[in-house]
Structure 1
């Protein structure tokens, strides 16, 4: 035997033991204008089943409406909201097509589409529908995977250029150091000839690095990496 439909003057009066829909609260289902609530177990069971099927929260814009609130918002005189068997659900976090399919699967029969207001009305029936369906949302396609490229840290061009830059800076630094040391005390003058040799070593490394960079860039062009 189906559970009876119960009406309460305010949603705070609903006994805890009667509320068995874990993803919703009496305040969400109550009339927005008066706080009154009508518990329609069959409708709420389908709403809970829809929530579980979709796996996402359902934002209830409107559920039960008291007669006075229904008149105030311009609802139909025989609106299913008056029976507690209708729900207006926001589509902000749902694909409308997927939502409609899931709602039909759990047993909702009446559908109203309000794309401009961003919600879909569902109720227990009879089977009917009205309004203009939501536009189909574009499917996001995965971007084409670009050809594999060496990372900057591993690029031979970068390595060659880096070696050349370091060696060039080293040679310049040695030259500066040599000039400074030449002007210092005579105690360090014996180091100057060795620094001159070190400068030429750095210059040789710089030239080698430049050559590696040029060859690597030519090879990259051949392989289509740039």
Structure 2
């Protein structure tokens, strides 16, 4: 184990647990930190097994801070091998099962404060049981369409937008030609026809976009 008077004094190369930071593990009251490599290895392993963030309420405690918060005199927090983890984003039963697989033997449950204590000390269990929850946390689902470019709504809307801009451009060109280029006035009627072609394309694109959105809604993909 290694000890530092403040977590900011910890050399960057001495930290090798990617999902946690020294500030998370350090004493909340003093900033002091004890690096218990075995415990941190198990904590990192548990994080990988869970596949989701772990909110660390408390990890290492300096003796003075442990006394101030009413911790046990022989608390495993003093050894840097105990962690209080919030259950805000975990199902307690699943979390505890995974923690045991990762090698944590001390398990304390605190449903009123919504956290679970885990440590690598002697095997023991204490605390009140968590009340049954309506359901466990469901895994995040990927969006229906990973690539926005595949959306028919986007394609239809894009076609409508481009055609609208094109129609506006033709109208501007028509006005400029009519006012400044009398030599090519015979071309103006053709530009007028082209503008209506763009408008027709724009309306078609809008119709495609509306149809695609309705279809998406019906399919439950939006």
The TM-score bracket by the shorter chain reads 0.5 to 0.7
Q: Larger C-alpha radius of gyration, 1 or 2?
A: 1
Structure 2 gaps of 5+ residues are 137-222
Structure 1 counterpart of 2:98:
102
Pair 1:115 & 2:111 matched: yes
1:63 Cα deviation after fit: 0.1
2:84 partner SS:
strand
- Aligned equivalents of 1:9 and 1:108: distance in 2? 27
2:85 partner SS:
strand
- Aligned equivalents of 1:10 and 1:77: distance in 2? 22
Deviation beyond 2 Å, 4+ runs, structure 1: none
Count of matched residue positions in the alignment of Structure 1 and Structure 2: 136
Structure 2 counterpart of 1:186:
none
Q: In the alignment, which of 110, 127, 130 is matched to residue 126 of structure 2?
A: 130
Structure 1 counterpart of 2:82:
86
Pair 1:45 & 2:70 matched: no
1:135 Cα deviation after fit: 1.3
2:117 partner SS:
strand
2:19 partner SS:
coil
TM-score by structure 1 length? Answer: 0.59
Pair 1:70 & 2:58 matched: no
Structure 2 counterpart of 1:196:
none
Taking the TM superposition and a 5 Å limit, the aligned residue runs for 1:1-226 are 5-139=1-135
Q: Deviations over 1:66-125 (max 9, x none)?
A: 000000000000000000000000000000000000000010000010000010000002
RMSD: 0.9
2:121 partner SS:
coil
- Aligned equivalents of 2:19 and 2:94: distance in 1? 20
Structure 1 gaps of 5+ residues are 141-226
Q: Deviations over 1:161-215 (max 9, x none)?
A: xxxxxxxxxxxxxxxxxxxxxxxxxxxxxxxxxxxxxxxxxxxxxxxxxxxxxxx
TM-score by structure 2 length? Answer: 0.60
1:139 Cα deviation after fit: 3.2
- Aligned equivalents of 2:135 and 2:9: distance in 1? 46
- Aligned equivalents of 2:134 and 2:32: distance in 1? 41
